[in-house]
Chains A and B, each alone.
Chain A
């Protein structure tokens, strides 16, 4: 009798300790639900971009693709978007600081799935893909040219395709070959000698260059990785354990568990699209910058933001309307990047501060004091074997770059 009670209690006890763990998969129902939420299958359709009326037009994507690879859109004829955003490298350049006509202050960001991100750049200073694309074109260290120059390129080489999408090009006969609100004093003075109407004519074409490039970029997405196949097998009851090694599974367990990675790197793109201070050191020789504080202020006053006359959103700008700005938590906060394909995307962080994934994981494990503001990290105190398992798991997020198609009905 006593033994029976004892045995019953033991059964009760073991059931209580592992409340919902499935003996078959080793994951609890909650964990399985989290894993499914991180799978590419959880990705909804490509969201609409109300700021860009040609976003889902195939013709715009094709024009954008050609512009993306066109080195004539630069001051020296040698730099295109694809110079830094290289298609065979997940649309990034594998170096710490982007190199256009000069050297940028930040690491080149990859492009895949950025159509799902409300704010672009490491500090989120742009709120649409087309507004983002226009920034480097007028940066003195990236493309280095001016909007007047680019508009002449469109008129000379793309007039037919442009006019089919956007209507007639303006009269450019009195627009100088170079001119724009840029750092170069000659180009800037030429720009301000134009009438307000002429400047608007040029800017409209410049904006449409951005909208065509955005139509191309928004279709760049992620293909399935070994992680996705593992989750599919778990869901469908296939032989999941053969798809990941024991170390990779242990790393995944840490990723959604005590390593806290999925607090920020969550959802099918492995990012919450927010900005966080994780105490990343500044790059030697670079001045400290405050990240999202400046980025949030910049996007609110950006010439090309959702509320601007160049946007097609008709003032419906929920991201800007409810955006957090001026908060001390934004000090030196940077964009949470996707972790898909992260293993083949060294170096890491917003200025390529860490050369390897091992260095990144060591940083998160130690959680050093932030050089400015406050780091949100707590030391993880993981063993080196656990860091190795996390790194092994990150390797399973490698997949192809895939083309995403706009939802049917939005194309024309």
Chain B
């Protein structure tokens, strides 16, 4: 009886251990699975979906909030024009800022295929960027280096093309 009970206990323990092991694997895969698709040779990990989009996005040091507004929805291989609305943390429109554009595909280690730049400034903190092209689908970084009345800062957008 005791022996049986022990056997049963040990069997339950075994099952419990297996269960825990499976649970750990499941949780690990659940957390890592989608990311697994995006891990490449460069070892860069794609940010979570909440970090993607056209903004509003706060700059690295919190000085600015930028929002992108493409003239037409962003698509691979098309030359595009994108408007940026720039505000400070209090929501004040920032005019007369110098904005330079950089970016690329972190997973592939290459930059933007063109040299986009600000070609027009409108009132109310709106700037027009021309010459934007993404030459394949996937995760792109689109970075604005901002030199404006609130200081120097950088805002990085993660875009899924």
User: What residues make up the interface of A, taking CB atoms closer than 8 Å to B?
Assistant: 2, 5-6, 9-10, 12-13, 16-17, 19, 30, 34, 37, 118, 262-264, 266-267, 272-274, 318-319, 321-324, 329, 376, 378
Contact = CB atoms under 8 A, between A and B. Distances in A.
Interface string B1-45: 000000000001001101100110110011001100100010000
Interface in B100-143: 108, 110-111, 113-117, 130-131, 133, 135-137
A189 B95 CA distance: 57
A9 B19 contact: yes
Contact of A13 (B16, B26, B130): B26
A19 B36 CA distance: 12
Given A2-B15, A272-B76, A318-B130, 15 more contacts: A5-B19, A9-B22, A9-B26, A10-B22, A13-B29, A17-B29, A30-B37, A262-B136, A263-B136, A267-B77, A272-B77, A318-B79, A322-B116, A322-B133, A378-B41
15 contacts: A2-B15, A5-B19, A6-B18, A9-B22, A13-B25, A13-B26, A13-B29, A16-B26, A17-B29, A19-B34, A30-B37, A266-B136, A321-B131, A322-B130, A324-B113
Contacts of B37: 30
Nearest to A269: B77
Contacts of A264: 136
Contact of B33 (A9, A19, A30, A376): A19
Given A318-B130, A322-B114, A263 B26 contact: no
Determine the main DSSP class of B at the interface with A: mixed
A37 B75 CA distance: 11
A323 B114 contact: yes
- The 6 A-B pairs with the shortest beta carbon distances in the complex, nearest first, are A322-B131, A272-B135, A322-B114, A13-B26, A16-B30, A266-B136
Interface in B32-74: 33-34, 37, 41
Interface of B: 12, 15-16, 18-19, 22-23, 25-26, 29-30, 33-34, 37, 41, 76-77, 79, 108, 110-111, 113-117, 130-131, 133, 135-137
Nearest to A318: B79
B108 A263 contact: yes
B34 to A, nearest CB: 6
Contact of A6 (B22, B77, B114): B22
A306 B63 CA distance: 41
Nearest to A325: B115
Contacts of A34: 137
B106 to A, nearest CB: 13
A16 B30 CA distance: 6
A263 B116 CA distance: 21
B66 to A, nearest CB: 20
Contacts of B16: 2
**Most chain A beta-carbon neighbours within 10 Å: one of B15, B108, B131, B136:** B136
Contacts of A19: 33-34
**Most chain A beta-carbon neighbours within 10 Å: one of B26, B37, B116, B130:** B26
A13 B22 contact: yes
Contact of A16 (B19, B29, B115, B131): B29
A13 B19 CA distance: 12
B135 A273 contact: yes
A7 to B, nearest CB: 10
A273 B117 contact: no
B76 A267 contact: yes
Nearest to B22: A9
